[in-house]
Amino acid sequence: MTVEGIEDFMLQCTSKQLFGISCPGCGTQRATALLFKGEFTAAFHMYPAIYTLILLVLFVVFNLFVKFKYDFQIKIGLLLLNVAIILVSYLLKMSPYI
C-alpha cells in the first residue's frame, strides 16, 4: 500500500456526518497523511496543532523511560499549548467572517 492510498482507510468524522459541523479534531488524519507524503506546510495548514501534538506524544513516550524534574509541568504546558492552538484554529475555521 502506498501513502497515497491511505486516504481510502481514513475514518469519517461522526460530528460532521450527524450534524454537518466539523469537530475540533477534523483534519488530524489528513494532516498526518500529508506529513507522511512530506508535505509539511500543507499539513500545518490542514491542522495547525499537528506539530505540537507530535511534540507532546514524543515527550510523553520519552518520559515513560526517562524521569526528570519538572516533567509534569512540561506535559501540562504542552497540553495547554495544544488545547489553545486547537481551539483558536477551530474558532477561526468556523468563523463566518474569515
pTM of the model as a whole: 0.81
Residue 27 corresponds to which cell in the numbers above? 483534519
If we measure between CA atoms, which residue out of 91, 17, 19 comes closest to residue 49? Answer: 91
Model confidence at 98, in pLDDT bands (50, 70, 90)? Answer: low
pLDDT tens figures, 7-61: 667 777 777 778 888 888 888 888 999 998 999 999 999 999 999 999 999 999 9
